[in-house]
Chain A
Amino acid sequence: MTVNTRVLINDFTYHVPSTLAEALGFLDQYGEDAAVLAGGTDLIIQMKLGRRSPKFLVDVSKLEELKHLEAGEKILIGAGRRYMDVLPFLQGLGRYHGLAEAIDSIGKLQVLSVATVGGNLGNGSPAADTPPPLMTYDASVRVRSAHQERVVPLREFHTGPGAIVLAPNEIIVAVEFDAFPDGRASAFRKLTRVASDISKVTCAVAVERAGETCTHCRIALGAVGPTPLRARSAEAALEGREVDASAVEECARLIVEEISPIDDIRCSEKYRREAAGVLFRDAFASAWERAKC
């Protein structure tokens, strides 16, 4: 069937609840037939392409419960906050460069003005830009249903390409992580085909240093496996070690071995492996330098 992206052919009922309880009630009632609509920059396109055809759309854009932005012992970002609000919030805090760089890299301003972090997680794409930096922050996803609230570590959130642990009656409320201790810093790098396109490879790094010794290290990558992933052997190789050129090279080599990229329309598996090493070196150098002060 040829796809006509100028119309939405499937019929659905649209709900725009004003409270989270009401939204959760709809999801409980409709189950698999419902989809949550935030900015729509993924969902509407998937519906146009015939990949999804929900019978009910529950628009969460009016829910104040999804709009918290808090900076205390924990940094909490409401799932329904648009990138254009989250970015200045992070920039104002000044420390969370990796996540800020990931959001800033979403090239299209027309997308930043409507799209949300909740949608980026809810879409479950292995190439999504915010999960790798959030993973380097050991972030958790706060999830609600009509019956319970649970907090899922982000590293357990993605289960496969486009697949996440969310049940059909659950809504992502927020993503949260511990505020950085002094001396921790992060960075994010990505490669794309053109300025505003989905990533070919991404790499995020968070480090802490005592002089030239790396005392804490997190490395996460996107678009190089079925889910966004942590490079654990590489992290272990750096943590507690004096950082010099050979340590960074060994780490890059471990990353290239640890990832499992595929060939697709954007680039080849071989290219992705090479590029992952390059992006890591770059992201690491930037985070390491930032951690100095």
Chain B
Amino acid sequence: MLTSCTNAIILTVNGDEHMLVVEPNELLINVLRNELGLTGSKYGCGTGQCGACTVLIDGEPALACVTLAVACDGKEIVTIEGIARPDGGLHPIQEEFLGENAVQCGFCTPGMILMAGDLLKRNPHPTEPEIRHHIKGNICRCTGYNGIVRAIQHAAARMAEPAAADGPDLVKEAR
């Protein structure tokens, strides 16, 4: 039912514009998952602790579980679904996560990959401490962090190669 309390908003998600009618108390994570069917972003703790719900909002990593959808009117959101190549092929970071077995249950993986992309956009040649610092707010409860760190190191090396320049670019997609 449309009441005076609903708000019409426009969200650009992974490059597609959506006109949505939301209640003020709807969380971005629920709109992405339930309304738009983008279930890649995971709902973990709901209290900002785990980072599973990480998305990029106007190019910056943020927690969709503590973000009101209505407050995102006019903003650009990137979720894990927006990271792969247009043809469905995986992004180098995704491939390296697979290659390093950095995924077990996969619940933390979308957030980890978005944070890895955010790091490599700012700092294409991160040290191991810099990688660990960047994913500090993302908790993995099964794989352990070593494989994740290695995957990010390999992705960094690959993306720094000149040939990677025409691959999908998290920077461009985030803008």
Known contacts: A16-B71, A61-B71, A110-B51. The answer to whether A44 contacts B66 by CB under 8 A is: yes
Q: Are A14 and B71 in contact (CB under 8 A)?
A: yes
Q: Are B62 and A113 in contact (CB under 8 A)?
A: yes
Known contacts: A6-B30, A41-B48, A196-B136. The answer to whether A109 contacts B115 by CB under 8 A is: yes
Q: Are B118 and A5 in contact (CB under 8 A)?
A: no
Fill in one digit per residue for B104-137: 1 if any A CB lies within 8 Å of its CB, else 0.
0000000000010010000000000000001011
Fill in one digit per residue for B61-86: 1 if any A CB lies within 8 Å of its CB, else 0.
11101111011010000000000000
Q: Are A40 and B45 in contact (CB under 8 A)?
A: no
Q: Which of A6, A44, A109 is close to B134, meaning CB atoms less than 8 Å apart?
A: A109
Q: Which of B25, B43, B49, B134 is close to A8, meaning CB atoms less than 8 Å apart?
A: B25
Q: Are A57 and B24 in contact (CB under 8 A)?
A: yes
Q: Are A12 and B25 in contact (CB under 8 A)?
A: yes
Q: Are A84 and B48 in contact (CB under 8 A)?
A: no
Kindly count the residue-residue contacts between A and B in the assembled complex, taking CB atoms under 8 Å apart.
Answer: 95
State how many residues of chain A have any CB contact under 8 Å with chain B.
32
**B173 proximity list for chain A (CB < 8 A):** none
- What is the chain A residue whose CB lies nearest that of B7? A14
Known contacts: A111-B63, A113-B60. The answer to whether A14 contacts B48 by CB under 8 A is: no
Known contacts: A40-B66, A107-B137. The answer to whether A13 contacts B45 by CB under 8 A is: no
- B positions within 8 Å CB-CB of A: 5, 7, 23-27, 30, 43, 45-49, 51, 54, 57, 60-63, 65-68, 70-71, 73, 115, 118, 134, 136-137
Listed by A's residue number, 17 A-B pairs whose Cβ atoms lie within 8 Å are A4-B46, A6-B46, A11-B24, A12-B25, A14-B24, A44-B67, A45-B48, A107-B137, A108-B48, A108-B136, A108-B137, A110-B51, A113-B62, A114-B57, A114-B60, A114-B67, A196-B136
- A positions within 8 Å CB-CB of B: 4-14, 16, 37, 40-41, 44-45, 48-49, 57, 59, 61, 84, 107-111, 113-114, 195-196
